[in-house]
Amino acid sequence: MSNYIENLPDVRGVYKFSEPLKKYTWLGVGGEAEVLYEPQDEADLQYFMQHKPQNMPVFILGGGSNLLVRDGGIAGVVIKLKNANFAQWRVVEDKFICGAGLVNFNLKKILPANCLGGLEFLCSIPGTIGGAFRSNAGCFGSELSQVLGCARVMDGCGKIFNVGAADFHFAYRHSEFPEDWIILEACFKTVNKSETEISAQIMQNDEYRRTHQPQGIKTAGSTFKNPPQQAAWKLIKAAGGDNMVVGGAHMSAQHCNFLQNNGTATAEDIEKLGNQIIEAVKKQSGIELKWEIKRVGQNINNDK
């Protein structure tokens, strides 16, 4: 334990020490968080950010769906907005405003009941609303940047302010905003549709997922970004990556851009397999795949 622990501010939320992060990620691998902090509410989080030890590393953990935590874990404090206070939502005219901790799947009930169209694609993206910002999450021809109006954020000093969608500099599966920004709340633009229309679209999206993508396994969704005018899975298959195995890690037989943990994989297995596939694809096609999964933390030997 570092000396940060002795100087943590007295908060109303929950501190967990040496907390295994594999419990919080869809891949089910990874080391420990030196400290996991679950703030009680926005004021509690703000107090923490204003009084935390100087230079203490802080990492924000969303739903853990598109994340690989390395086996050496994460130093400093990992913040998870788990409390229900961060998942509140409201409708103001044609705007849907919700907390960053709202789980995307919960939108399946909220959207139809309130005739909020245009956000159906978000229902099928694993994770939380706040977690979707960093990667500009999207599917079915839509992405977060297209429906976001503005957001409330908190910086590393605890200052809260509003920002517009342009301030995130969104691109395909990418955004650029300060690492210390914590998404508190998002305001989405919606389209008026009937409950029946919205429910039908959500069901159609769900059916596509069930038919074309693996379900009920330890995976983090799409492993690599699609290169321009290319499909990552086709490049992987052409390079033989669909048959590669490292320890307990392999690519899904149903969709070979979904890297899978068979239950025994380590984070090192998963990252090593991913890097081997990148090399194989580049050798076969000349195209270098880029990770879509965010990789964080330290390896066992403490190298990042």
Each residue's pLDDT tens digit, 117-128: 999 999 989 899
Check residue 4 and give its pLDDT. 76
Identify the CA nearest to 28 among candidates 209, 223, 291, 270: 270
The confidence band for 76, taking pLDDT boundaries of 50, 70 and 90, is: very high
Q: Is 173 a catalytic residue?
A: yes
Shared domain for 57 and 123, answered yes or no, is no
Contacts with 149 (C-beta within 8 Å, 6 or more apart), sequence order? 95, 164, 165, 187, 188, 189
Q: Looking at residue 239, which CATH number applies to its domain?
A: 3.90.78.10
pLDDT confidence tier of residue 300, bands split at 50, 70 and 90: confident
Residue ending a domain, among 84, 99, 134, is 84
Query: Do residue 115 and residue 192 come from a single domain?
Result: yes
Work out the pLDDT band at 243, boundaries 50, 70, 90.
very high
Check whether 166 has a pLDDT greater than 60: yes
Instruction: State mean pLDDT over 8-36.
Output: 97
Q: Catalytic one among 124, 222, 268, 271?
A: 222
Same domain, 157 and 269: no
Segments forming the whole domain that contains residue 193: 87-209
What is the C-alpha to C-alpha distance for residues 101 and 98, in angstroms, rounded to an integer?
A: 8
291 found inside a domain: no
Does some domain include residue 304? Answer: no
How does pLDDT run across 128-137, given as a tens digit for each residue? 999 999 999 9
- Write out the two tokens for 274: 């991913």
**Domain contains 46:** yes
What is the tens place of the pLDDT at every residue in 191-236?
999 999 999 999 999 999 888 888 788 999 899 999 999 999 999 9
Identify whether residues 80 and 19 lie together within a single domain: yes
Q: Which residue is catalytic, options 32, 120, 271, 292?
A: 292
Q: Are residues 104 and 178 in the same domain?
A: yes
CATH of the domain at 98: 3.30.465.10
Same domain, 105 and 192: yes
What is the reported pTM? 0.92
- Residue of 161, 137, 159 lying closest to 148 (CA atoms): 137
Q: Quick one: 156 and 242 in the same domain?
A: no
**Could you tell me the pLDDT band of residue 302, with boundaries at 50, 70 and 90?**
low
Q: Is 22 part of a structural domain of the chain?
A: yes
Where does residue 53 rank: exposed (0-12), middle (13-18), buried (19+ CB within 10 A)? middle
pLDDT of residue 216: 80
Specify if 289 maps to a domain: no
34 pLDDT more than 80: yes
> Is residue 2 over pLDDT 80?
no
- The amino acid occupying position 265 is A
Selecting among 173, 175, 185, 268, the annotated active-site residue is 173
What average pLDDT score do residues 264-276 get? 97
Do 125 and 162 belong together in one domain?
yes
Residue 79 has pLDDT above 80, yes or no: yes
Answer yes or no: do 95 and 205 share one domain: yes
Does residue 290 lie in a domain region?
no
Ranges assigned E (strand) in the chain:
14-20, 32-38, 58-61, 67-69, 74-80, 89-92, 95-99, 116-117, 138-139, 142-143, 148-154, 160-164, 182-189, 191-192, 218-222, 245-246, 249-251, 258-261, 294-296
pLDDT tier at 250, thresholds 50, 70, 90: very high
pLDDT of residue 25: 96
Give Cα 28 to chain centroid, integer Å: 14
CA distance 217 to 52: 38
How many domains does one find in the chain? 3
Residue 44, domain member (yes or no): yes
